[in-house]
Amino acid sequence: MPGTMPYVLDKGPYFSVVESRLDNLPTRAQALLDLRAMAAANGQGPPGTMVADICGFDSKNLGSPNPPTGDHRTPAARKRHLNEDWFGMSDASGVWRKQPPPLNASTGCWANYAGDAEAILREGMIRAIEVSFDIPTGGPPPADVHAIPQWNQAVAWQANHSPTSRHWPIDVTWICQGPFFQCWVTWRRLNDSPTGGHVNVLITTPATEPSPMTAPYPITARITRPIPPDTTPPGPDYHCPPVATAAHTGDRGIWVIGHENYRQIPMPSTGGTNSGGMNMPSLGWVPLDTAVVVVEPAEWEGGVVPPGRAYQP
Amino acid sequence: MPIDPGVVEKVLERFSNDITESFADALSPASDPAVTIGLNEIVPSEPVLTQAELVAVSDALVAIPWSYNCIHTGVFVGIPATYITFELRGTTFVDPRDSNPHQWTYYRYVDFIGALHQIGVQTSVRPALTDEQYLNWFKETHAS
């Protein structure tokens, strides 16, 4: 994530770009073939053959370190972030390799979690694409969708073709809290038209611990903020209530609905009492105001912009 | 003036009742005795310290490190029963200066995190901060 992740659920610019690439059917079909091919080396290998290489991290609208815009990262830094922090990989040998964490240690930045996050995410995306195309596990892409690795050619193909096979859109969202790294694929069919349904990929990850490119991000009890913590946010700030164009006319949206803010009620256990009367420790949350608010999170804090973030090679 | 050795004996007879009664709705004894005096070395070994050495006595308090071999049978710090057997560990400081034992005051320092880990609750989660705490965190981590 390019921002500070104050919320429990995130999409943000990176997953918006992933969705944009998957919206292009030849690219989606190619991604399916690429992800399956990666299984032979369990997702490891030289640069250019990894999950990180098909996410659209080179999209020009994600930002740049010089001049500092967006996430302030280079495409290479984004790939390194995914490989090192999400997958626990190292390229010290010149080839990306997974680093089995020792007992009771962490994978990448995932605190106290030792698992193959890359394989889980890869399998989750494979399954989501298969559901979107209505093909059995391991089956070929639809006959009327060509897998095309080159983006401009894929865009041109899609502009001139209207596949009649199923190609439901795919949403990707992320909940960072733990304790396990998992991918949840859900879907819903509405009708028999090619786009008569949708697929959701929900990635759940453990909480983060510090790494060169991540912080152990806390979440906030308050779903609005008095001021943006970043004086130069890479995009529009949050809205409460959501702006009209993002509500019912926008192509995409993420809202969080809840009480705006809470106060903590901690209860220690160490106060003196008579025998048998120990106070149990607890942490309660009490809303400051019981009104329910609707907030459209800023994109850089996990939300989306209404038109989406189209991949820009 | 140090606490009378006879009173210390009474404290040692009674302190385990405080533990089992305080957790009566959440934990059940898994052995008899379930509460033992000790410092619970990570690697089990011959006891290094005697009971007399483990129990500290001042002019006002008797301090007793203990372990409760128990079963998680009720709501324990908000966690519903898992029926897992585990060791709850802590130290109780008893102020026995009142002549009536029912008026003694108990202060307990319990290893709740160790207990939560044993019953499968991970504590490495993203902390939830108030807005003031969050802005302070942001200021501290983005100072440069």
Domains, chain B, in order of start with CATH, read 5-141 (3.10.450)
List b or e across A134-161, with b for residues whose CB sees 16 or more CB atoms inside 10 angstroms. Answer: bbeeeeebbeebbbbeebeebeebbeee
- If one counts every other C-beta atom within 10 angstroms of the C-beta of residue A91, the result is 16
- B95 in contact with A, Cβ within 8 Å: yes
Chain A: residue nearest B79 by CA?
A282
- Minimal CA separation from A178 to chain B, in Å: 6
Using an 8 Å Cβ cutoff, are A312 and A61 in contact?
A: yes
Chain A: residue nearest B91 by CA?
A270
- B62 in contact with A, Cβ within 8 Å: no
Confidence (pLDDT) at A104: 61
Write out the residues of chain A at the interface with chain B, using a CB-CB cutoff of 8 A: 4, 6, 8, 111-112, 176-179, 206-209, 215-222, 225-226, 229-230, 261-264, 269-278, 280-282, 285
DSSP designation for A235: S
Distances from the Cα of A174 to the Cα of A57, A118, A303, angstroms: 17, 15, 11
- Minimal CA separation from B106 to chain A, in Å: 5
| pLDDT single digits (tens) A207-226 | 887 666 666 678 888 888 76
The Cα A96–Cα A52 span in angstroms is 11
Reading chain A (313 residues) residue by residue, the pLDDT tens digits are: 556 778 889 999 999 999 999 999 999 999 999 999 999 999 999 988 899 999 999 999 999 999 888 888 999 999 999 999 999 999 999 999 998 766 667 888 898 888 999 999 999 999 999 999 999 999 999 999 999 999 999 999 999 999 999 999 999 999 988 788 999 999 999 999 999 999 999 999 998 876 666 666 788 888 887 655 555 567 788 888 888 655 566 788 899 999 999 999 999 999 999 999 999 999 888 999 998 999 989 898 889 988 889 999 9
Residue B71: strand, helix, or coil:
strand
Reading chain B (144 residues) residue by residue, the pLDDT tens digits are: 889 999 999 999 999 999 999 999 999 999 999 999 988 765 556 667 888 888 999 999 999 999 999 999 999 999 999 999 999 999 999 999 999 999 999 999 999 999 999 999 988 888 888 888 888 888 888 765
The Cα A113–Cα A98 span in angstroms is 14
The Cα A131–Cα A190 span in angstroms is 14
| pLDDT single digits (tens) B28-50 | 999 999 999 988 765 556 667 88
In this complex, do B130 and A207 lie within 8 Å of one another by their Cβ atoms?
no
Q: Which residues of A touch B124 (CB under 8 A)?
A: 111-112, 178-179, 206-207, 209
Structure tokens at A243: 């702006």
The Cα A39–Cα A32 span in angstroms is 11
The Cα A10–Cα B106 span in angstroms is 46
Distances from the Cα of B119 to the Cα of A106, A310, B70, angstroms: 20, 46, 11
- B128 contacts: CB under 8 Å, gap ≥ 6: A218, A219, A220, A221, A285
The Cα B71–Cα B85 span in angstroms is 4
Average pLDDT across chain A, whole number:
90
| pLDDT single digits (tens) A285-297 | 899 999 899 998 9
